[in-house]
Amino acid sequence: MASRKTVTLDNLTVLGVERLAAILMELAEGDAEVKRRLRLELAAQSGGDTIAAEIGKRITTLRSARSFIDWQKRRDFVKDLDLQRAMIVDRVAQSRADLALDLMWRFMDLAEPVLNRVDDSNGSVGDVFRTACEDLGAIAAKAKPDPVSLADRVFAAVTDNDYGVFDGLVRIMLPALGDVGAAHLKDRLTRALADRSRKPGERDYHALVLRSALQTLADGQADVDAYIALVPPEERRMPHQGAEIGRRLLAAGRASEALAMLEGARPKRSATRGGRDDDLFLIGFPADNAWEETYIEALEVTAKKDEAQRLRWAAFEQRLSADQLRAYLKRLPDFEDVEAEERAMQHALGFRSFSAALGFLMSWPDQARAAQLVLTRASEINGNLYELLEPAARLIEGKHPLAATLLRRAMIDDTLDGVKSTRYKHAARHLRECRSLAAGIRDSGAFETHEAFVGRLRARHGRKTGFWSQVSEVAGDGG
């Protein structure tokens, strides 16, 4: 049971209405945000019209403001902005959906002027508007506006969407548009797309926006042929577009057509793919993967199961796809899957990219083999991949302290060798963690003991006082 001093709903209720009102008055005197919230709540008591008028005034003020909002003021500004959005949804829309819809459109119109004067480096302001865009759909469905007028407003929004706040608006508005509104919107989008003149090889961003909106309409109406018609013939041979079309054909029960489409968009993978092997961990082959997954599904549906299995295993062999390996094993007879999994793990241990292999063994997960990989291929550890090495070290440190230590040492060496001073604090923490694991390492084998490692660091990087001061701060005794 919570203490009576803990701030909970039940405990505050005990204070009584008058005492709470007095406290709120006191807080409102020194906090504009609290005062604004109280004004809105009081206005809500008088009905949807009254609170709508209050919110409308605030939207007008926000639109006319010109001062720049830096990161220090951003948090309070976002709270105020989101309060207006929430009040439209929770207070106005409950009794006056028509007023709420108009207010939300006005709120969305704030996006450009607001984003022009705010530091939105963390995306929090944009998130408020994207949430409001989702709210528009629910309010419009409740308000039931004229579908043609609604379609005109949707058209205007998606064709003037420089900040991306209306991304997804067509999908969101489909229920409220109905057949009449969707037909009118399709007509306007089609005419606008036809009016765009494009030179060969020229990329027209606005044409892409119009085409995407039309494809969303086609999806909403389950019209696969309309979707395909909007993809230029030359783009249908691209793996990503082929996968998008193939997925829709499969959903429509047209598996043979899907297979043919995917065959025509087969990725042209080079046997000697450019870049380092670590790129396999960092970026993978996302476009090719989407094609491959859809193609395998098409093979399954068209009864080409052996070919589908062959491709699943090939995907695992080529890039250690855990998803394809799981699908492959799932379709094997009993006992054969055990042997195949063992073969797969041996392949992973010898895979050309250490980082990809470690990422795979973590996700499988197989702690013992992840540790084995580290111990047998320690010289290949890329200490710069801290987003991989740190969680891997945490995963295996309980049963495999030496392997976890080697991962952390690699990060420390990379930080100090590269003089990455912004990471000194993290490197010092890693050194402390190495020290805490040292007692659990019975035999370091060919690797340095913790004391020898620290000695080497001092000999090689003794002048990096920024690092050693961090070590003293987190460890207390220099390692």
| Domain spans in the chain, listed from the N-terminal domain onward | 375-475
Min mean pLDDT across 171-175, 283-287, 367-371 is at 283-287
**Higher per-residue confidence, 206 vs 37:** 206
What beta strand segments (E) does 376-469 contain? none
**Higher per-residue confidence, 48 vs 323:** 323
pLDDT classification of 275: cutoffs 50, 70, 90: very low
Reference 249, options 217, 215, 214, 225; nearest CA is 225
Give me the amino acid identity at 292.
Answer: E
Q: What pLDDT was estimated at residue 212?
A: 95
What is the C-alpha end-to-end distance of the chain, expressed in Å?
44
Q: How many residues does the chain have?
A: 479
pLDDT classification of 73: cutoffs 50, 70, 90: confident
**DSSP H helical segments within 273-332, as ranges?**
279-282, 286-301, 305-319, 322-330
185: buried, middle or exposed (CB in 10 Å: 19+, 13-18, 0-12)?
buried
**Average of pLDDT values for 316-340?**
94
Percent of the chain with pLDDT over 90: 73
- Give the span between the Cα atoms of 262 and 246, in whole angstroms: 6
Q: What pLDDT was estimated at residue 72?
A: 87
- Give the span between the Cα atoms of 161 and 461, in whole angstroms: 52
Percent of the chain with pLDDT over 70: 86
Q: What is the pTM of this model?
A: 0.75
Question: Is pLDDT above 60 for 277?
Answer: no
What beta strand segments (E) does 22-179 contain? none
Question: Is pLDDT above 90 for 336?
Answer: yes
**Average of pLDDT values for 215-219?**
97
Q: What pLDDT was estimated at residue 241?
A: 96
